[in-house]
Structure formats: C-alpha cells, structure tokens
Structure 1
C-alpha cells in the first residue's frame, strides 16, 4: 500500500500551515491529515500480513506482537501494537483472518490474500465488478462482494436468497455426473455440498437409459423347415408416442421367412 505525503505548502483540504515547508513531515502527522480510517476490510494481493487499525474490530486479541512494525509503500515503518484474529461471515461458513496485526496508523484494513486462501481452503476470483470467494473443492461461492471503485472492499453478505442456496439433490445429481443416492448423502454429510430443497421423488431419465442392460445374443443352431415353427418377439419403448398415445411396441419375427 503506497502513501504520498503532501507537497510543502499544500495540504489535502487547502493551503497548509507554514510548518510543512519549514520542518520535515513526520509519518504520524502525515496520517493525521489523510482521510478518516475506514473499518472495512479490503483485499490486497500486495500485503504480506492482515492489517487492522483498531483492536476492537477483532474477535480475539493477544497481548503480544508478532512484529514490532510494518513497512509501507514509501519505505517508512508504522508500529504494531497487538495481534489477534477476526472472522468474516458468509452464507455457508465463517471465513477466518488469523494473526491480524493491529497498526493504529494504517488507513485501510487490509487482507493478505495469500494467507486468506490458505487458512480458508478457498480461491478468490477478481473481476471488473468485484470479487468472489469460492470453496476450493466444491467451487461454491462463499462470498460475493461488488465494487465500483478502485479497491476491492469486503461487503456484508446479502440477506436476499441466492441461487446456489436452494440447490436440490436432483440438481447435484446432474452436476456431479449422475452418482447414486449413497454418494450424494456422503457428500452432504461431509458438507462438500448442501441440499436445501426438500427431496422429491425424481426419476433420472438419463440414468434409466444409461444403466439399461441387455443379455448377449448367443449363436443359434435351430433349424426350421416351415413358417411359424419359431417366432421371435421383443418389447421396446418408442421415443415417439403413437397417434393413439402408446409408447411401447412389440415385435414378432418369423424365424424361417424373417418376416416381421
């Protein structure tokens, strides 16, 4: 994260006092004239630690410091006062922020992307409209945050229902390559997938066709000398319903004449 100090004689909100041109600008005074601190978390691929300016924003606080200070983009360092943990809520499971460094002089709360993906077994996909946090194994969207600015802030999860929250067992059956009910129950119990719709008596047409079996045809030594000595018959299902509304048909074949 880069910070640019004001030019001598010029402040952010207007002409600065003469002290800026007569004395060197220190880091605390530079931060004091910057915009107010933002409590929102921001995804940052360049950060090397989670940074937060206020210890009260953390769920767990330790009376120790992993590092005495952190370096910012202009080469200066800012002090670290505490270390703690925090949690970002999502629709499926909480997302953890471990070993957050409390740095009171930071302006934006930053999330170290690399550590975040490791600790939560997830991936982050950035796009022009925001970013999506997805479960690494199931590819479920755990958190979607939209952004219209230059940064990627972490917004609160929407309370409105979204599509993947109402996935039925039949939908997962089709998505995962038509596994059996026992496999789906195992995935649900392991929380790899979630089925929030009530189970309905759904018969998969593709499974019926794909799992049909047929006995092998054996060579026949039967010898016939007259018609109707041996008649072969078979029952089949038609893909096209007849004009009378039937979809099954039966075949009768004379062995001697091969007349159908």
Structure 2
C-alpha cells in the first residue's frame, strides 16, 4: 500500500476497515451448460423448500437416477449484485451443486461467457460486468452466498479528510475540469485548499512527448562552413507581388540570414543556385554543408545532384525533430 495514494495508515485498533460478511459462504456452484434445472445437495441453498413427491429423477453420466427431495427458488448473493435462481432441485446424493447455464441467463436476463480464463456474467443491455468466476480443473465455479437472506455486514471504516493533491493522484490524475466535477458531485471532504487548479509535476511529465534538447556543442569556425535552410509557407496572405513562400538561409558561424520570397516551392532550386554563386563570390569561401529538413524541395534529385556535383555535404534533421535545425526553425520569417 502506497501511503501517498491511500493516505496515512490507520492505527492498529482501527485495522478492520473492510466490510465483514457474517453469512457463511456456501460451496460453489458449477456452471453446467447441459443441465435444464439448478441442482443442489444442500437444502439451505433453497428458500422455502417444497417437498417433492413426483417420480422424476436426475440422471447423471453413468446412467444412475438420483431422487429429488425438494424444489424451490434461491438467490445467489455476490459482493457486486444478486442473481435469482428459479427451478432449483434439492438432490441430497448429488456431489456438487450445478448451475444450469440456460436457466441462469433466462432468470436474470444476462449473458454468460465461458473461455479459458474463466466465466463472465454481464448485463445484456449495458454490457457491464456483474460477476467473474475462475476456471479450475476444467470446471467453472461461481462462488456466492445462497442463503435465504442477504448477508449482513458490520463495517468499521476510517473517515478522514485528505488534501487535494492525494485525491488528484487517487483518481488517476484527471484534468482540472473533470477533477472539479468529481469533487463537487461526490462532496469529497478535502483538507485545506480545495481548488483543483494547481501544478502537478507528474501530469506535466506525462504530457511531454520528448525529452528536452541540450545546447549543441558544435561550432563553425568560418563563414559558409554550415548553412541552415528552411522554407516557410504557404503564407495565409499573398504579398502584393504574389509571393506565398520564403526561403530562409542562416550562416551557422555569423548567424547572418538571407530571405528569398518565392511564388512556389519549385523555385527553391534555382534560387539556391543563384545564391551559391553570389555568396561564394562575395565572401570568398565555399559552402561545405547544407542542413535542412526532409522537405521535397531539398530531397529532389535535381537539388541533391547539384550539391554532390559541387562537393557540398547535405544533412537532414530527423523526422518530427525541428530542434536539430533550430537555428533556422526558430527564426521568424519577417524579423
């Protein structure tokens, strides 16, 4: 038990925190898809049993007929709900109590599923699970109390107010809107400050999609050693001259920037060719590395062939990782 989630441990004299059922738990019922009636060997499982004077018998696998002593109805009580059992036969010499699958789903208007993991009883209309049972040795037992009265319980619970952060953790870190609704609807006793609007470190960490990126350790030693390139657009407003896209180029060494307005992305290649001739002739250095994202304008055969022809290394940032080319990704297109 985690005290951060469940609150403080109660003292030893208040250790009885769970409901204690006083009714004696009966032997389990074995689900039988071939039985037409419920059969029990314990008469206490039947409410107001009626003596049976007929000649019908219950025939088992070896062909032997077992006499029926009483008939009646019963109720199978479980912690979650209760199930009605009609047409229950009391057969004293039966070794186990059998639960007729057909009669059970007919009496309770529910669905019953059997698989390798056990049995499952669900509400036929809502699909809510009402009862689950295990599988043991090829049998599907259902445990419950079949006494004529529902089991009584005596409960000793510890009631204490808990602060809002623990309630937030107990409820699975819901959003502030849902958390506020749960607190108000259920009148939860909250200790101290009851406002659900507080900073939760666990929620913030869970909503992060990636770890933060550290500061890069690489640095260029000369101009044009590394150029960061990116295309911004389409612009929501077309310029007077009809430009919708903008090619951004940033020199990693000097952080000097160039902006080139474009009418379409297809003009990126021709613009870069003209830029290369101009900047290399002006500065006197050669472009060595070009870094960009994997946009089609940079991955085209024409663009890549041009870079290889002039001995320029091309680098791509990883998909959905603009931080690797943040020098140009962070730069606003008009500032």
TM over 0.5: no
Q: Whose helix proportion is higher, 1 or 2?
A: 2
Rg larger in structure: 2
TM-score (norm 1): 0.44
